[in-house]
Amino acid sequence: MIFGCFFSISGISGFAYLIFRFPFH
């Protein structure tokens, strides 16, 4: 349960980081 939550947060953070780093046009 905790692992799933952490994985989900990590995935969202990574996705947001990519968007901030390479904003889609």
Mean of pLDDT values over 5-21:
78
What is the pLDDT at residue 1? 64
Q: How far apart are CA 19 and CA 12, in angstroms?
A: 11
pLDDT of 23 above 70 = no
Taken in order 21, 23, 24, 25, the sign of the CA dihedral is negative
pLDDT of 11 above 70 = yes
What is the pLDDT at residue 24? 61
pLDDT of 15 above 60 = yes
pLDDT of 16 above 70 = yes
pLDDT of 25 above 60 = no
